[in-house]
Structure 1
Amino acid sequence: MTKENYSTTFYKERLEALALELKKYTKRSRMWVAVRLISFLSIGVLAYFTYPYGGFSALGILATVVLFLIFVRKSAENKDQLNYVKALIRINENEIKGSEHDFSSFDDGEEYMNPQHPFSYDMDIFGKGSFFQLFNRTVTKKGEEALVKRLLNGVETPLKSAEAINELKDKKEWYQDYLAHGSSLDKEATEVSISDLSKEEYPAKSWMKALRILSPIIAFLAFAAYYFDFIGGIHFVVVAIIIFIPVRQSLKTTNRLHQSLSKIGFRVSAMQNQLMRMEQESFSSELMTEFHKELFESENNGKQGLTELSKLVKQAEFRNNILVAVFLNFFFAWDFRLLINMEKWSALYSAKVERWEEIVYEMEALISGANFRYNFEKHTTVPTLSNQKDGPIELIKLGHPIIPLQKLVTNDFQLSSIEQFAIVTGPNMAGKSTFLRSIGVNLMLARAGFHVMAEKFEFPNMKLYSSMRTSDDLKDETSYFHAELLRLRFIVDAIERGENVFIILDEILKGTNSKDKEEGSAKFLQKLNQLEARGIIATHDLSLTQLANVYKSVVNKYFDTEINGDEISFDYCIRDGVAKNMNASFLLRKMGLIDR
């Protein structure tokens, strides 16, 4: 049996092509190192041998310096391309590892684990080996946060998102390129937000606008006068001091702007590359068309704003060298121009930057969905979510995404419009909890605008609440039973607030004795029935199944086991009715924990 959980043909073929690209850019990288070194050494050699020729020597040295800077830039461009190819290789290698159910290369979202969340802790959404680690393909911290927000809260128009994901799924190379450009920074470094820059103020005084024109004129005239011996060196120095006095007064603001622009420089470059990819690609889905208009077609759009901001970043970079900064401020009033240009940029674009970033990071969440759809296309579908609380629930061939396809057993499950609750019974290890989590994870995916692992998924658009994994809290002196009651109160509060919820419960009231548990569980389900709540509960308490004889809104389902001598087997298939076989004593004997 193959180890692959999904086809890796595309990834392997692309790796072969990328290996050639890597070889090409690695070879060029070595060449540029040699060229840069030779051009740098030639500056000193030229200065030594042409020194007696005065002005001609200076021109020759200047030309060599310019050539060296060009080579440095070309080398940097080659390095960027090399890193881009390496990022693509890493993306495809990680997908091949993922096909073997090794998702260790992807963030597991452990920091988002929250026992107080309505469902994520119970459903194992985050943590090592979690659903998030299987699904997540984001490459920036904010992209990851956008994905987490979608999964935990859902979206207003899930069908529109699913349509966009279907379109992106067929653009595999394109979205890998998008991710590769986004991964040009360390994930921690991408927490730097361009919108933070737009919220800061870097005021350009009115006198700066006058000196931006006047100061260079004075500087060039002074230099020409000195060069042609109309004024002496001391006079030239006096003029220079006068020019630099206002520059010095604005230095605190300019340095602060310089620092901010330096922080976002790489982020701006990465976003520009991502936007370039988006502009070059054609999209027809409604959501992607809307993104395209906002970024490229509207007035003062994202492409224009980032292009102008990139120029400001480069303008600030020239100040990194103190000698260059002195030269530029003397002849071109560089700092004044930087502040004035920043003020113009803020006036045009600051109100829109946050939305551009939101789209760019939202794309990573959509690409995660597209990648999931691509890998599991034969096993996923677009869900149907109705706005009717009592709408029918019909799940055909429902499976849990985290289970390898070779081991996956899918199930059908229905609740009619008059049926509110399903009680699921069955022996230990028969698949009850996994089935409950299959419903929960797929409902989460559906509400987040992603595809679900099912042949058909028809469900009311309901918020998910669950109680499956409750623990005590020694710090807060909370007993297990009290913690469980608080969780159930949390769920009932949501219903009484008018929220439209679907409830998943697994063996509630475990923290009390059998008689209390039996009576309490029955009365709690009766209360949920009176509140017209909908949901599913797994239990070993067969007495609860009697509620189906009292309420037409309650149905019984069960999982079974087969015991033949010393062997036990499970088919993990759900059935209508009540479980008759239990296996706790058999398993205890099998493990040697009780006498045969």
Structure 2
Amino acid sequence: MSDLSDLREEIKQNVAQERYRKREAYYTRKHETLTQVINRLSNLRLMVFVLGALATVVLYLKDKVSWAYGALLITAILFVALVFWHQALKTRQSYLSVLKENYAQALRRLAGEWKSFPDRGEDFQDLEHAYGEDLDLFGAGSLYQWITTAQTFRGREKLREILTEPPRDCEVIRKRQEAIRELSLNLAWRQRFLAEAKLAKRPGRSPAAMISWAQTYDPTYLRRSVLLGARVLPLVTLAFLLLYFFTARVSYWYPLLGLLLQTGILLTGKQRGKTLNAVYEFKETIRIYEKMLERFEKRSFRAAYLQTLKDNLRDREGKPAFEQIRKLTGLADLIANRGNAMFLIVNILTLWDIQCLISLEAWKEKSGRSLGQWIDTIAELEALNSLALIAADHPQWSWPLITPETAGVVAAGVGHPLLENPVCNDLALDKNGGILLITGSNMSGKSTLLRTVGLNLVLAYTGAPVCAREFRCSVYRIFTCMRVRDNLEENISSFYAELLRIKQIVQASKQDRQIFFLLDEIFKGTNSQDRHAGAKVLIRQLSKAGAMGMVSTHDLELGDLEGETKRKIRNYHFREYYQNDQIYFDYKLRQGISTTRNAMYLIRMAGIEVES
């Protein structure tokens, strides 16, 4: 890049950093101010209690009983009001604390400290995946660790799915690009959406049990006879009870029989308590989903992808999802009263459990089947927000052009997304030269280049921007063979594991021309003659099948393929230079076969004497 371009990129980066710094400072000040208010409120609450109690005692001792009761009542009202106010401020304090931490984390990410983030996605690592392990999608120092802000179980899974199962439809990718671009410009909204998820007690817990519970309802409680009985019977019993206390015309047997009948009803049905306890168990998780959906549904978006997600949240009556979930959380609050010491009496008098079950089953019948879809929408938003931070943090990166035709991969100034200051290169793979053969000495940058192209393709297919000035590609199925390990449990050697991976690529190329492969030093586990012969046959076969890709190798003899294939396979290389008995690399890609070797030099640097 030119010096002017570098300067523009640096300015854009500093703007993003300064924006995070200002917001972190803003929420830090608000948090400190609120903490001071809470401390003063705690002191005021104590003072009200002490002064109220003292006033009550003094007035009572002076035989001003009515005044004493008045002071006690006023003290109780003020104290309860202060308790609720204090609790509301504590909730706000927690929210501000999370927002402050969100911006602090964003600054750490920009500063390159993201490798310390706890969620590395190690539970998603899959040695059998076509490219995930080789391209560092999951694990320590991975793409997932760098970008993820997903907090919920489904949100993490959705981000994994987007990274490992790219769509084959260009239009889907373009719509997702539009959504990610719009979300990247809504920094405050993204951070508040994230804060809601972080406030959950157990956001990483699977919602499968909750979804299954919501989708299964008991129609017994929705029958007209049950509804009528549950509403009328408590009213009749209460009426007899009041008549018994206030008149002499009604025998105690009438209310007693009603209470005994209602007690018998409550004692029948063993599953009733489990059903009610389940909604209370899911209460906190449900409340978090409500808040996240409310954040989304009350926000206006232009992107068609986001608008479609929002439209899918409404029920057949047009009510938004967060209002429907709010009804469920309200029911959960009512059910929570079952733990109250006075609940048994209230339950018998009103058939409280039955009333709650009727409301609960009615909710499940109407909205329960949609809960899974609502949670999946939240998951999609969490994944898109994770990808949006790439655009927000790196405004100098480009939005890739996804083409439907087999146009190959063309990039200008492409760099490794996970490196802080990557060296950028230009490259082009197209119909005239669909395979690049990369040669060069040890540590010169061959493997890094392969991962650079692979990772940027992954990002392009997610809809995110890529680390390049320009990037154009078609939609390919990506396959890699780079880090192949022994599998002792399956009794598979690294060489055999490599053959299995190569077989997978060859079979895919026979079935689909839209294949992009990355091969790093293939057939390492055999002798040089067989390695050279095998690599030559494989590369020729992949080229003939129409597959595109890149191969790194130390076998300079493979460079003959360029002439033999009329430049359908093209040679590029990296080189090193020496200065003051030190070896240096510029990591710049050049045309042609490598003309330098550094193995013996590195051996001498290791202290091994080499006879000349």
How far the C-alpha of 1:58 sits from its partner, in A, is: 12
Check if 1:310 corresponds to 2:325: no
Corresponding residue of 2:432: 418
Corresponding residue of 2:601: 586
Contact 1:392–1:417 (8 Å) recurs in 2: yes
* Aligned pairs for 1:48-447 within 5 A: 73-103=84-114, 104-155=116-167, 156=169, 157-187=172-202, 189-193=204-208, 194-205=210-221, 206=223, 207-228=225-246, 230=248, 236-250=255-269, 252-295=270-313, 299-323=318-342, 325-378=343-396, 380-388=397-405, 390-405=406-421, 408-447=422-461
Contact 1:204–1:336 (8 Å) recurs in 2: no
Which amino acid letter does the alignment assign opposite residue 540 of structure 2?
Q
How far the C-alpha of 1:20 sits from its partner, in A, is: 2.8
Q: Give structure 1 stretches of 5+ with no counterpart.
A: 51-56
Q: Give structure 2 stretches of 5+ with no counterpart.
A: 1-9, 61-67
- How far, CA to CA, are the matches of 2:233 and 2:44 in structure 1? 38
How far the C-alpha of 1:277 sits from its partner, in A, is: 2.0
- How far, CA to CA, are the matches of 1:213 and 1:264 in structure 2? 27
How far the C-alpha of 1:421 sits from its partner, in A, is: 1.0
- How far, CA to CA, are the matches of 1:219 and 1:34 in structure 2? 48
How far the C-alpha of 1:31 sits from its partner, in A, is: 5.7
Contact 1:518–1:541 (8 Å) recurs in 2: yes
- How far, CA to CA, are the matches of 1:145 and 1:493 in structure 2? 29
SS in 1 for 2:574: strand
How far the C-alpha of 1:500 sits from its partner, in A, is: 2.6
How large is the RMSD of aligned CA atoms in angstroms?
3.3
Instruction: Mark the CA change 1:219 to 1:38 in structure 2 (over 3 Å): closer, same or farther.
Output: farther
How far the C-alpha of 1:416 sits from its partner, in A, is: 2.5
- How far, CA to CA, are the matches of 1:160 and 1:541 in structure 2? 43
How far the C-alpha of 1:506 sits from its partner, in A, is: 0.2
Which amino acid letter does the alignment assign opposite residue 152 of structure 1?
T
Instruction: Mark the CA change 1:67 to 1:498 in structure 2 (over 3 Å): closer, same or farther.
Output: farther
How far the C-alpha of 1:219 sits from its partner, in A, is: 3.2
- How far, CA to CA, are the matches of 2:151 and 2:175 in structure 1? 23
How far the C-alpha of 1:528 sits from its partner, in A, is: 1.3
- How far, CA to CA, are the matches of 2:259 and 2:475 in structure 1? 71
Instruction: Mark the CA change 1:62 to 1:220 in structure 2 (over 3 Å): closer, same or farther.
Output: farther
SS in 1 for 2:587: strand
Corresponding residue of 2:586: 571
Contact 2:484–2:498 (8 Å) recurs in 1: yes
Contact 1:395–1:412 (8 Å) recurs in 2: yes
- How far, CA to CA, are the matches of 1:16 and 1:300 in structure 2? 38
How far the C-alpha of 1:262 sits from its partner, in A, is: 1.6
- How far, CA to CA, are the matches of 1:192 and 1:249 in structure 2? 30
Q: 1:47-102, CA deviations, whole angstroms, 9 ceiling, x for partnerless residues?
A: 9x99xxxxxx9999999988877665544433322211111111111122222211
Contact 2:280–2:336 (8 Å) recurs in 1: yes
Q: 1:329-369, CA deviations, whole angstroms, 9 ceiling, x for partnerless residues?
A: 23433212211112221222123221111111111111111
Moved more, 73-82 or 87-96: 73-82
- How far, CA to CA, are the matches of 2:86 and 2:94 in structure 1? 12
Contact 1:300–1:349 (8 Å) recurs in 2: no
Q: 1:380-418, CA deviations, whole angstroms, 9 ceiling, x for partnerless residues?
A: 121122222x3142111111111113xx21111102223
Which amino acid letter does the alignment assign opposite residue 580 of structure 1?
T
Q: 1:209-258, CA deviations, whole angstroms, 9 ceiling, x for partnerless residues?
A: 122211221232133124325367776554322222112213x3332222
Q: Structure 2 residue aligned with 1:466, among 480, 484, 492?
A: 480
State the aligned residue count. Answer: 588
Corresponding residue of 2:63: none
- How far, CA to CA, are the matches of 1:70 and 1:204 in structure 2? 42
Instruction: Mark the CA change 1:558 to 1:292 in structure 2 (over 3 Å): closer, same or farther.
Output: same
Q: Structure 2 residue aligned with 1:538, among 552, 564, 569?
A: 552
Corresponding residue of 1:53: none
- How far, CA to CA, are the matches of 2:86 and 2:344 in structure 1? 27
- How far, CA to CA, are the matches of 1:579 and 1:382 in structure 2? 33
Percent identity, please: 25
Contact 2:56–2:69 (8 Å) recurs in 1: no
How far the C-alpha of 1:307 sits from its partner, in A, is: 2.4
Contact 2:124–2:138 (8 Å) recurs in 1: yes
**TM-score, reference length from structure 1:** 0.90
- How far, CA to CA, are the matches of 1:272 and 1:22 in structure 2? 25
Moved more, 188-197 or 92-101: 188-197
Q: Structure 2 residue aligned with 1:506, among 510, 520, 539?
A: 520
Q: Structure 1 residue aligned with 2:529, among 515, 521, 534?
A: 515
